[in-house]
């Protein structure tokens, strides 16, 4: 009960603080939406309206790509905030209260998941004109799928946040590790066609499971078709959380 009250207060304050940071809010919410709109416009100028809806790249690839960008910006933002909080002694100050350390981190995860859902909502609104009215997308299931994916990638974020030496390096190191994950996630080329080393790497990264999950759910697959993907995302979460629990530095 006590912990819930603290968790709720901390989460709410962190959301307010995030919104007060103009660049942070723009970078995390605005960037994926802009990429989505720009890509949609470029593709729209190439393709006739009738083939636009038919093109699988635009219909499935682009929304999934933009969703991954949303997830990764949320994770990058988490890595940056955690390292700034550590460097400034904010994490340490919060620990010197009856608050459990897990509660502090949970609050940040909730903030990032909320942010992901909101950004997805904005993207859907902004992208409405590229999609003919008849196209039906299970938005609720897709949101859940994206939240599960984000949650799993967030655990990698904690792992990165555990090892980055200073706040200054957090954003670049995070970006260098996270963005290339999209390239080998199977979104652009099938994972099986990758060179053996990348193939092996792809198998342990969460995006490799997030991509088929998001694509499938967007196309209207049933959840039962993606139990394996969800299970893999959960395993990644458990492994990364267990490792970062060992190596995480509070100061």
Partner 1 sequence: MRPVIQVSGVRKTYGSTVAVDEVSFEVNDGEIFGLIGPNGAGKTTTMECIEGLRTPDRGTISVLGLDPFRHVYKLQDRIGVQLQQAQLQKRIKVWEAVDLWASLYRKKAIDAAHLLEQLGLTDKRNTWFMNLSGGQKQRLFIALALINDPEVVFLDELTTGLDPQSRRAIWDLVRGIRERGKTVFLTTHLMEEAERLCDRVAIIEHGRIIDIDSPQKLIDRHCPERTVVLVTSDPSAGERFRAIPVVESVICTGMRFTIRGRGDDLVAEVIHCLSENRIRVTEFRTILPNLEDVFLQLTGHSIRE
Of the candidates 160, 173, 158, 203, the one whose C-alpha atom is nearest the C-alpha of residue 185 is 203
User: Three-state SS for 250?
Assistant: coil
| Smallest separation (angstroms) from partner 1 to the CB of 156 | 24
Binding of residue 10 to partner 1 (CB under 8 A): yes
Question: Does residue number 245 form part of the binding site for partner 1 (CB under 8 A)?
Answer: no
Contact call for residue 90 and partner 1 (CB under 8 A): yes
Question: Within positions 13 to 32, which residues make up the interface with partner 1, using CB under 8 A?
Answer: 13-14, 16-17, 20-21
CA–CA dist 60, 207 (Å, integer) = 16
Q: Six-digit token pair at 48? A: 């006739």
Structure tokens at 118: 């909101």
Least spacing, CB of residue 92 vs partner 1, in Å: 6
Which window, 11-19, 55-63, 66-74, 239-247, contacts partner 1 (CB under 8 A)? Answer: 11-19
Q: Which is nearer to partner 1, 89 or 220 (CB)?
A: 89
| Beta carbons within 8 Å of 66's beta carbon, 6+ residues apart | 32, 33, 35, 36, 39, 123
In 3-state terms the chain splits into helix, strand, coil percentages (rounded to 5) of 85, 0, 15
Q: Which stretch binds partner 1 (CB under 8 A): 6-14, 214-222, 223-231, 232-240?
A: 6-14
The single-letter DSSP state of residue 226 is G
Nearer to partner 1 among residue 16 and residue 136 (C-beta): 16
Which of 39-47, 88-96, 109-117, 144-152 is the region at the interface with partner 1 (rule: CB under 8 A)? 88-96
Stretch that binds partner 1, among 93-101, 114-122, 146-154, 182-190 (CB under 8 A): 93-101
Among 26, 89, 203, 247, binds partner 1 (CB under 8 A): 89
CB 189, CB 211: distance < 8 Å? no
How far is 108 from 106, CA to CA, in rounded Å?
5
Candidate segments 4-12, 41-49, 65-73, 116-124, binder of partner 1 by CB under 8 A: 4-12
**DSSP-derived 3-state class of residue 194:** coil
* C-beta separation of 171 from 79 below 8 A: yes
Can you tell me the distance from the alpha carbon of 60 to that of 56, in angstroms, rounded to the nearest whole number? 6
Q: How far is the CB of 2 from partner 1 (least distance, A)?
A: 6
| 136 binding partner 1? (CB under 8 A) | no
Catalog residues that contact partner 1 under the rule CB under 8 A: 2, 5-6, 9-10, 13-14, 16-17, 20-21, 85, 88-90, 92-93, 95-100
């Amino acid at each position: 009960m006590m912990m819930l009250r603290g968790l709720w207060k901390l989460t709410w304050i962190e959301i307010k603080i995030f919104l007060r940071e103009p660049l942070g809010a723009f970078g995390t919410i605005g960037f994926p939406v802009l990429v989505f709109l720009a890509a949609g416009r470029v593709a729209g100028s190439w393709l006739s309206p009738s083939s636009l809806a038919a093109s699988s790249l635009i219909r499935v690839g682009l929304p999934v790509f933009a969703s991954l960008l949303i997830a990764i910006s949320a994770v990058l933002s988490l890595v940056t905030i955690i390292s700034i909080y550590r460097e400034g002694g904010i994490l340490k100050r919060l620990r010197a209260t009856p608050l459990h350390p897990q509660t502090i981190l949970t609050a940040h995860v909730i903030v990032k998941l909320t942010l992901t859902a909101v950004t997805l909502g904005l993207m859907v609104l902004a992208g409405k004109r590229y999609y003919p009215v008849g196209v039906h997308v299970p938005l609720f299931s897709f949101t859940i799928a994206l939240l599960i994916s984000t949650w799993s990638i967030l655990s990698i974020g904690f792992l990165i946040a555990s090892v980055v030496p200073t706040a200054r390096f957090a954003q670049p190191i995070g970006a260098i590790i996270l963005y290339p994950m999209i390239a080998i996630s199977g979104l652009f080329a099938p994972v099986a066609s990758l060179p053996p080393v990348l193939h092996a790497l792809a198998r342990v990264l969460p995006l490799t499971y997030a991509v088929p999950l998001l694509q499938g759910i967007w196309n209207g697959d049933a959840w039962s078709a993606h139990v394996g993907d969800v299970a893999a995302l959960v395993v990644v979460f458990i492994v990364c959380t267990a490792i970062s629990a060992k190596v995480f530095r509070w100061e």
